[in-house]
Amino acid sequence: MAKQRESRWVKVVVASIVRPIMRAVTKPEWSGQENVPRSGGVIIAANHLSMADPLTIAHFLYVAGRRWPTFTMKEGVMRIPVVRSVAKSTGQIPVKRGSTEAIKALGEAETALTRDGCSVIFYPEGTVTRDPKLWPMVAKTGVARLALSTGVPVVPLAHWGEHEILEYGTNRLSLFPRKRVRMKAGPPVDLSAYRDKPLTGTVLREATAEIMAAITRLQAEIRGEEPPAVPYDPKQARQEKKPVEEGGKDTDGDRVEGGDNGKAGAA
């Protein structure tokens, strides 16, 4: 039986505050909202551009999708007193990374999806994109695992424009003039090829790639640009850019000599 996770009066208060603010600082352009099911558990898988986009995504989902947004939120954010109270009252799910609590959070998300019929928003990348041109990057496999284990649909959601409101890595808000924020939801990702397979690393990575490809295609349509053929991989980029100073150690721990420029790259 579905359980009401949110306080109705807190939802009314939050919506009455957030909606006028979003109308005042953004010029939303929404499409694909018909792909968001009006009831039942659904995973909304979105790209991550800025610390501002949880608000724009929530605005889209609540107004256009007619669903209450449930986020998986960093546990650190939940330590902020007012945020913690509001988040708990509106059914948000805290995630503490690098601990058994992360597994607990996935269990709570599964309950929200299967028992409570919630629309749960995930950022499969796990953090704001580090792609130099802000395309979606290689993602983690948690969303695919949850989708395949629960059978709930995964609706891809792409957006563009929030980086002009709050660029990642800065505290500089640019609210005026109003920024155009484009949002597009696609039809559920077809994961039927993976449904009856064991949840091996290979299966999860392939299913994750399908989800991210759907998000990337939507963002390419929004931007009117061609996405990169291969998504940005921050781990690989760090390995490729990591320099070894002259006289330092290579990855095997041996001394290395610098090249013509006094440095040698470490694989």
Distance CA 48, CA 251 (A): 32
- Ordered structural domains, the chain, with CATH: 8-231 (3.40.1130.10), 233-267 (no CATH)
Distance between first and last Cα of the chain:
53
Q: What is the pLDDT of residue 230?
A: 96
Residue 111: HSE in the Cβ half-sphere, 13 Å Cα cutoff: 12
* Phi, psi (degrees; rounded to nearest 5) at 217: -60, -40
Give the pLDDT score at 84: 77
DSSP symbol at 164: G
Q: Mean pLDDT per segment of 10 residues, for the chain of length 267 residues?
A: 71 91 96 97 98 95 96 75 80 75 82 95 95 97 96 98 95 94 98 95 98 98 97 92 54 34 33
- Whether 100 contacts 202, CB under 8 Å: no
State residue 105's pLDDT score. Answer: 81
At 180, list the tokens: 């155009």
CB 33, CB 44: distance < 8 Å: no
Q: What contacts 98, CB < 8 A, 6 or more positions away?
A: none
| pLDDT of the residue at 99 | 59
pTM above 0.95, yes or no: no
Q: What is the pLDDT of residue 264?
A: 31
